[in-house]
Structure 1
Amino acid sequence: MTATLLILAIVVITALAFDFTNGFHDTANAMATSIATGALKPFVAVAISAALNLIGAFLSVNVAATVAKGIVNLDSYDLSAGADGEALLIVVFTGLIGGIFWNLFTWLLGMPSSSSHALFGGLIGAAFAAMGSGGVAWSSIVGKIVIPALASPVIAALVSACATFLVYWVTNTIPSKVKNEHFRHGQIVTACLVSLAHGAGDAQKTMGVIFLALVAAGEADSGQRIPTWVIFACAIAIAAGTLSGGWRVIRTLGKGLVEIESPQGMAAEATSAAIILTSAAGGMALSTTHVSTGSILGTGLGKRGAKVRWGVAMRMVSAWLITLPCAAAVGFVSWWIATGVSGVANTTTGVIVDFILLIAMAAIIVIRSQMNPIDAKNVNDDWDADAESVDSSMKKEPAAAKAAAQPATAEGN
């Protein structure tokens, strides 16, 4: 096996690992509200989402084309004779490291950050390290990533707020118990649509990255269609990641941002599905996290008397703002490690060192998460009103437990 093919194999494995993290990190986008309202049991919700992510991955490849050709400026590389193929492979590999690191880090914090922007940030940082500003397709990034990232949560919040208001206005004569029961059934349908939309949008981003690696290695032409095996592999990886849960982010979106009732959940999910599916058909690489979070926030604005935890919301927005630069910084540093700045003379050896560091980092984060486990059993526990992250909310005793622990006192004492 040549050095280029070895690096390509590592890149494909790393890309599928990113796809897996994308699956468990973003399960919340589809199923958090359905789990929070009791429309679906946690494990049932995750299994349905995994199956529909798998199906959704086959709906379109328009977003994959945007990722493959719209982040890294391919004109900066001479691929006609394979001259810069290995350099581009390393850019893709180290960009993926940036995306995986940010996905795992924000998952540990229970923060619904964008997997898409983590990937884009990593690729931007690696491309910039390799080729300078000319290595990044800035115009495409601004038009198809930055502007949609700013606009999509605002649009989703407005549409969801209007939908929520209309739902409660039309059904104001129906008793709450009856209304919630009927809307729970509707939530199952809308949650399935969001899962389908997530598969159609996010699995394609990894397809685009793998295709870019194949082009760099001379195994594909930039003008051809995404190979079928890439579509199958990415569909399976994101479905497997979704099936693993992602309970920390599910808890934050389902319980931490807004206390959601079934009508609100259905309005949020219907809004998210409509926006994500429309953007995927147009090749626009929207963040499902931004859209879903904006939709959930909108339900709090559209329901009279609903409480929005603005502290949690502001921390989410802060994470969104730093996703691109933080992932880019990791991609940048990873590229320098792979190409020898840290004393590694051989590029292949540098890639292997980066890969080992990635595995070690992932292991540390997973071990740390076990100090404060979130799973299907406690994902729906009441959210501490003073808490603004999963870690702090789960460390405190619930108010009911504290009250029960207090010694009984005689009335009037």
Structure 2
Amino acid sequence: MVTTLLVVVIILAIGFDYINGFHDAANSIATIVSTKVLSPFQAVLWAALFNFAAYFYFTDHKVANTIAKTVVEHYITLEVILAGLLAAIIWNLFTWWFGIPSSSSHTLIGGFAGAGMAKAMTLGHDALAAINFAPIFKVIAFIVLAPVIGMMISVLISIIILHISKNARPSVAEKWFKRLQLVSSAALSFTHGGNDAQKVMGIIYVAMVAANVLHTGDVMPEWIPISCYAAIALGTMSGGWKIVKTMGTKITKVNAFEGVAAEAAGAVTLGITEHFGIPVSTTHTITGSIVGVGLLKRVSAVRWGVTVRLLWAWILTIPVSAVLAGLVFALIHLFF
């Protein structure tokens, strides 16, 4: 039974990574598609290539380690992980269907934490006893900090680029910005892969520890990162066109210059947070970066009604995923 359940959990985890890929594809390709630098098909292939390329660089697995420590080890069972994954998949598909660029990262964290809390309650313990608050507080803090940092960096990059190219002819500058967008979108896809694939790696690792296949502190088997990076790359190739529309056109109208600034800012922010093992939302980061380039034009260039609705989705993702995971765990608990 344990072996079968472990296999189911691993398949679902890799499936979640695939869904994460097509849900978050918009983060990497929205601006490059909206500026017509690449066609949608070319863009998803470009993004998927660099999603997988991240496997060869991000070998420290710091983000995976943070995710693995979200729930106290005593309360981690295969049933808890299963419930968390199912809740995360349900919420991800729901937000994808309605074109809401919510965070796959926060969905997974909320689901894992909610299922752990439900497990603690079944043992008669305080629900909060299941939570490691240090990594959770770090994640919650960066719900606010990641988009703000992305916004600030995008404004700074925009100012630097404008200063460098102030004497360039508009037609020449536009041509160069479109070329640079290939580089900036590749960098964003690269750091997106490095940040997001690790989250599922952490979940699979703790599942194998819970099943006594591995022990805490063991080296992660190489097939785990390869599978996760491949899954997120394949998911990205499937695209997420509803969210592309929201990210690429509904927040603010983006040209090639602004696309370069937003994508570069997103890549820098994700690279910094990965270095410190902080599992931030790629969605929040690039949204903040897009808002930043919009603000540089004028405050009214940003469609604040859309932005406020996105903020509500971000705020609700962790608690909704946690409650959903608790309900799923209660159902699973009846059969195991």
1:238 deviation in Å? 0.7
> Is residue 134 of structure 1 aligned with residue 129 of structure 2?
yes
Partner of 1:217: 211
1:31 deviation in Å? 1.2
> Is residue 184 of structure 1 aligned with residue 183 of structure 2?
no
1:127 deviation in Å? 0.5
CA distance in 1, matches of 2:30, 2:173: 20
CA distance in 2, matches of 1:261, 1:164: 12
- Structure with the larger RCO, 1 or 2 (CA within 8 Å, 6+ apart): 2
Return 121-130 or 168-177, whichever deviates more: 168-177
Partner of 1:278: 272
More helix by share: 2
Contact conserved, 1:163 with 1:302, CA < 8 A, in 2?
no
Alignment of 1:8-407 (within 5 A): 8-58=6-56, 59-60=58-59, 61-69=61-69, 71-74=70-73, 76-77=74-75, 88-131=77-120, 132-142=127-137, 144-304=138-298, 307-340=301-334, 346-347=335-336
Aligned partner of residue 174 in structure 1, secondary structure: coil
Q: Deviations over 1:249-294 (max 9, x none)?
A: 1111011111001111000111111110121122111111111110
CA distance in 2, matches of 1:239, 1:294: 24
Q: Deviations over 1:139-190 (max 9, x none)?
A: 2210x21112211111111221232233334434434333222100001001
Q: Which runs of 5+ in 1 are unaligned?
A: 78-86, 341-345, 348-413
CA distance in 1, matches of 2:154, 2:90: 31
CA distance in 2, matches of 1:136, 1:57: 29
Q: Which runs of 5+ in 2 are unaligned?
A: 121-126
What amino acid maps onto 1:134 in structure 2?
Answer: A
What amino acid maps onto 1:238 in structure 2?
Answer: I
CA distance in 2, matches of 1:97, 1:242: 20
Are residues 305 and 156 of structure 1, via their aligned partners in 2, closer, same or farther at CA, if it must alter by over 3 Å?
closer
CA distance in 2, matches of 1:177, 1:320: 39
Contact conserved, 2:102 with 2:317, CA < 8 A, in 1?
yes
Contact conserved, 2:88 with 2:108, CA < 8 A, in 1?
yes
Contact conserved, 1:161 with 1:303, CA < 8 A, in 2?
no
Contact conserved, 1:183 with 1:263, CA < 8 A, in 2?
yes
Are residues 245 and 218 of structure 1, via their aligned partners in 2, closer, same or farther at CA, if it must alter by over 3 Å?
same
Are residues 308 and 260 of structure 1, via their aligned partners in 2, closer, same or farther at CA, if it must alter by over 3 Å?
same
What amino acid maps onto 2:128 in structure 1?
Answer: S
Partner of 2:123: none
What amino acid maps onto 1:21 in structure 2?
Answer: I
CA distance in 1, matches of 2:147, 2:163: 24
Aligned partner of residue 263 in structure 1, secondary structure: helix
Return 296-305 or 30-39, whichever deviates more: 296-305
Aligned partner of residue 321 in structure 1, secondary structure: helix
Partner of 1:84: none
TM-score, with length taken from structure 1: 0.77
